């Protein structure tokens, strides 16, 4: 996606209407940023984009919690002679 945007910006570099913009921005990578910088960058997004990021994070965290829960409570961890306890 960012590559496509950079290519589009290169086409406009010679355009007199856009040539005053200066240097084309570099691609932003949040992986190499501190947690505080990552949060600041997310805060700069449009509300819809920000909500999408938070929904994705929520989804991944929920998936991890379920994965951890099932790994911790799987049948293979119990002795075969012991019945599984079920919450009432």
Q: Within 13 Å, how many C-alpha atoms sit on residue 87's CB side?
A: 1
Domain extent, residue 10, equals 1-32
**More confident call, 41 vs 5:** 41
In a domain, 19, yes or no: yes
Q: Determine the Cα–Cα distance for residues 70 and 1; give it in Å rounded to an integer.
A: 36
In a domain, 45, yes or no: no
Q: What average pLDDT does range 22-32 have in this prediction?
A: 83
Q: What's the number of domains the chain is made of?
A: 1
In a domain, 69, yes or no: no
In a domain, 63, yes or no: no
Confidence category of residue 5, pLDDT binned at 50, 70, 90: low
pLDDT number for residue 27:
86
Asked if residue 14 has pLDDT above 70, the reply is no
pLDDT number for residue 87:
62
CB 9 within 8 A of CB 2: no
How many percent of the chain have pLDDT more than 90? 44
In a domain, 66, yes or no: no
In a domain, 78, yes or no: no
pTM recorded for the entire structure? 0.55
In a domain, 46, yes or no: no
Checking phi first, is residue 85 left (phi over 0); if not, alpha (psi -120 to 50) or beta? Answer: beta
In a domain, 23, yes or no: yes
Q: Determine the Cα–Cα distance for residues 63 and 14; give it in Å rounded to an integer.
A: 47
């Amino acid at each position: 996606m960012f590559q496509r945007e950079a290519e589009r910006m290169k086409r406009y570099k010679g355009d007199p209407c856009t040539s005053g913009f200066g240097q084309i921005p570099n691609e932003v990578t949040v992986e190499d940023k501190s947690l505080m910088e990552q949060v600041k960058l997310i805060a700069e997004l449009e509300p819809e984009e920000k909500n999408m990021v938070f929904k994705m994070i929520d989804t991944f965290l929920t998936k991890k919690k379920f994965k951890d829960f099932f790994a911790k409570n799987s049948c293979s961890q119990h002795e075969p002679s012991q019945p599984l306890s079920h919450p009432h």
